Chains A and B, each alone.
Chain A
Amino acid sequence: MEPQTLDSQLRESSAPPDDIVIHAHDLWKIYDMGTVKVDALCGLSFSIRRGEYVAIMGPSGSGKSTLMNLIGCLDTPTHGQYWLNGRLVSQLTDDELAYIRNKEIGFVFQTFNLLARATALHNVELPLIYSGTPVEERLMRAEESLRLVELGDRIQHKPNELSGGQRQRVAIARALVNHPSILLADEPTGNLDSTTGEEIMNLFDRLHQSGNTIILVTHEHDIAAHAHRIIHIRDGRVDRDEPLE
């Protein structure tokens, strides 16, 4: 079933089927800049199934970042519905969004966004702290997550003692630690050289194979080529939505 047809089958304000992890329907984001109103997203719709590996591409100013913020529950749309893992999250308050971010979303940022003064282990622990996980379980899961990205021997290192690739792997371990519904990566190789970037992408591939849903936001075709489907955004709308071989 093509996503577009699936989308048309879904009526407004009814929950999507269980295997749909993300369902966006007619998303609008309008920034009010006083005198002018800027439409960053203009009625954008798409769905993503559980276990998919999707790249979102688009030139700068296409609304890519805005969409990423919406998908990542950092922001809410002006109009429209956004269903994440069977829950309508487009109208939630700040704290409810924080709860969703904690449980459902694993962020991987271009600039890693690790706490500089904390060890790798503590950085990975953070999401578990905010979900109120007991200490022993927290340490166990954080270590496990770091082993998963092959940093089991670097857990006490601080970010400045790690290479760029290692830092990004710490960030991925952190994104994975709470077993989120989606892994949302924003230009994950943007600050890395191509070899390291390739390593990171291989890691994403592996994670996808083990069942994670991955959404890559990028403008690099090489990176997007790792995904199995590319959604092209232009002027706040879905321009093309195509599967890759």
Chain B
Amino acid sequence: MTSGQTPARSAGARRRELYNAWVTAREAFWIALDALYTHKLRSFLTLLGVVIATTTLIVVMSVINGMNLYIANHIANLGANTFVLSQFEWAQGHAAWVKAQRRNKPIRIEDYEFLKENLEGYKAIGATSQYPSRSAKYERQILYDVSLTGVTPSMIDIGQQRVELGRYITEPDYLHAAMVCFIGQDLVDKFFPGADPLGKEIEVNGRVFRVIGVARRIGTTFGVSQDNFVQIPLTSFQRVFVARPSINISVQAWAAAQMLPLEDEVRTLMRVRRHLPFTEKDTFGINASATIMSLWERLTGSIFAVTIGVVAVFMVVGGIVIMNIMLASVTERTHEIGIRKSLGARRRDILTQFVIESAVMAGAGGLIGVILAVLISQIVERFFASAVPLSGVFLGLALSAAVGLFFGIYPASKAAKLDPIEALRMEG
């Protein structure tokens, strides 16, 4: 060996340095796990902040994600390539809605007939009209909050319903305003458990309808059953409930690419029909799934922003607690640091050891948070919507480890700067 100061920095030396760093880092990882295992309660208390932060983050992400899926599948699912012409635009602010309330005119059956005649290039067109929620009765049984809808026969091709038993409302039913109904599974469960519902007569809002078909079960959305409905021909609806109902018109395009042209055509036809000058805004609303999703996302965006704030506060608090415990740990292990330094540990080695320990600790907190969040999410899923997104899991773990890294730097640098002689003198 010549009288050099430090070994020459060749490529080999640098590779060796890197390898050294890897060896010490891996070593530090096991030390960290060991420390966590040895001080279980202390570690748990230390990590509480990070655990809560991670859990909150992932639970909120899961619920939003779950609701997004639900909205996409159940609420915003108007049907494939379908948009709805209605009196109001759905996704708009309150002020705009109040204004529209005065300006917009209801959509009528005549509009439906007109569009059906004049619109070109659509796959299907249908109309529905909703009656405020009503009760249905069969013999002595009563089911409340039943949604009653008047429909055109074409709605079976457009809407969510699928036929499970019997048949849907047909053209003859529609033409003759037959007193028949197509019912959801909830009514079957309540009125005809184990019995054949077809041909039975149920009373809806004081009128008797014969059951001709049963829909396939849909499930619940936000705890509200989607199978609690009665559909009757729109003509019958007019005959016995509302003579001149306000309706929604569903238009189905052949392909997604034809949605916009078709929407434009409907808009043009409706404007011409309502004699709107080009300076005037629409007096009706055209709603597609995208419209509902955009409204929804605006809402969840603000929920998420609040969550980020809360999580940030938890993480900082959690990080400070970790920093505190790491400072205590450095003091407690001064003698150990002295021993390690006497055996050739450099500042960098000690720094790495404590920073990694802090990161592993926080990361473990993140892991506990993820596990908790998954459990909570599964419970929430039973009566609400929730689905843990993989991105949330990664974000939670990465964020907590980063917090550990950041808040570990100060205690670790204190440890690294200890004088070996002083440190050795400290009795451990």
A contacts, CB < 8 Å to B: 15, 69, 72, 74-75, 85-88, 92, 94-96, 98-99, 101-103, 107, 109, 113-117, 126-127, 129-135, 174, 178
Contact = CB atoms under 8 A, between A and B. Distances in A.
Contacts of A102: 343-344
B38 A99 contact: no
B345 interface: yes
Interface string B346-362: 11110000000000000
Contacts of B4: 87
Contacts of B339: 113-115, 126
B346 A95 contact: yes
B1 interface: yes
Contact of B343 (A92, A107, A134): A107
B27 interface: yes
A126 B31 CA distance: 12
Contacts of B338: 113
A86 B2 contact: yes
B344 A72 contact: no
Contacts of B420: 74
B6 A96 contact: yes
Contact of B1 (A85, A116, A117, A133): A85
- The number of chain B residues touching the other chain, given as a range, is 20 to 34
A99 B20 contact: no
A115 B3 CA distance: 34
Nearest to B18: A132
Contacts of A15: 3
B344 A117 contact: no
A96 B421 contact: no
A9 to B, nearest CB: 18
A109 B3 CA distance: 29
Given A130-B24, A132-B16, A101 B344 contact: yes
Nearest to A107: B342
B330 to A, nearest CB: 16
B32 to A, nearest CB: 13
Interface in B1-15: 1-7
Nearest to B21: A132
B346 A115 contact: no
A148 B20 CA distance: 26
A94 B346 CA distance: 8
B344 A130 contact: yes
A109 B423 CA distance: 14
Pick the 6 closest A-B CB pairs, nearest first. Answer: A102-B344, A132-B20, A130-B344, A98-B346, A95-B346, A127-B343
Interface in B92-140: none
B336 A115 contact: yes
